[in-house]
């Protein structure tokens, strides 16, 4: 059963490049240890500060895919994701089905416990693809840039795709 006919409108294209409000993410020793433990890492650099420093890190390094924990502020944060609940760019498409299209992270600088990052997100791309079973699908790419508040350097860029049908 094919899905609805669908096209990217001018209004949808206007969401591309619109930045979200900046949001703070904290990287703590507790969060690094918890994440590493939760995904099954056993390397001592994620648990022991001395081992991390001997390996060349400033403190416990953030494990792959962990970019800190967004700071939750009641009334301003999403109850689900702790990110801003207003001002985040969205694409009004009217499609009800959703699939995770994957996430890639590009690391530009070291991220360690003790770092505080500022994240800003934007819709960076919209595409339509055809599926034999679902019909036309809208693929949105959200790009989030993480900047270390102390150094002012961009430390990571994350691109996440969502597939709506």
2 has a pLDDT exceeding 60: no
Beta strands 69-70 and 98-107: pairing type?
A: unpaired
- How far apart are alpha carbons 43 and 155 in whole angstroms? 22
Domain boundaries, the chain: 10-27+67-164, 29-60
Lowest model confidence (mean pLDDT) among 34-38, 73-77, 146-150, 155-159: 73-77
Return the pLDDT at 87. Answer: 82
Return the pLDDT at 17. Answer: 96
33-38 long-range contacts, CB within 8 A, separation 24+: 33/60, 35/62, 35/63, 35/66, 36/63, 36/66
Tens digit of each residue's pLDDT (9 = 90 or more) over 59-112: 999 999 999 999 999 999 989 889 888 888 889 999 999 999 999 999 999 999
Fold type of domain 10-27+67-164? Thiol Ester Dehydrase; Chain A (3.10.129)
The pTM for the full model equals 0.89
CA torsion, ordered 20, 22, 28, 34, to nearest 10 deg: -10
Tens digit of each residue's pLDDT (9 = 90 or more) over 6-64: 789 999 999 999 999 999 999 999 999 999 999 999 999 999 999 999 999 999 999 99
């Amino acid at each position: 059963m094919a899905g609805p006919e669908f096209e990217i409108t001018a209004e949808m294209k206007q969401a591309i490049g619109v930045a979200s409000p900046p949001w703070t993410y904290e990287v703590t020793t507790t969060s690094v240890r918890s994440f590493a433990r939760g995904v099954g890492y056993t390397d001592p650099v994620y648990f022991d500060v001395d081992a991390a420093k001997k390996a060349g890190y400033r403190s416990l390094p953030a494990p792959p895919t962990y970019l800190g924990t967004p700071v939750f502020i009641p009334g301003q944060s999403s109850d689900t994701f702790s990110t801003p609940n207003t001002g985040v760019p969205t694409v009004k498409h009217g499609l009800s089905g959703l699939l995770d299209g994957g996430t890639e992270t590009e690391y530009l600088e070291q991220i360690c416990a003790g770092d505080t990052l500022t994240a800003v997100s934007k819709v960076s791309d919209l595409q339509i693809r055809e599926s034999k079973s679902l019909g036309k699908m809208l693929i949105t790419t959200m790009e989030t840039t993480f900047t270390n508040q102390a150094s002012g350097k961009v430390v990571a860029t994350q691109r996440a795709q969502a597939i709506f049908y």
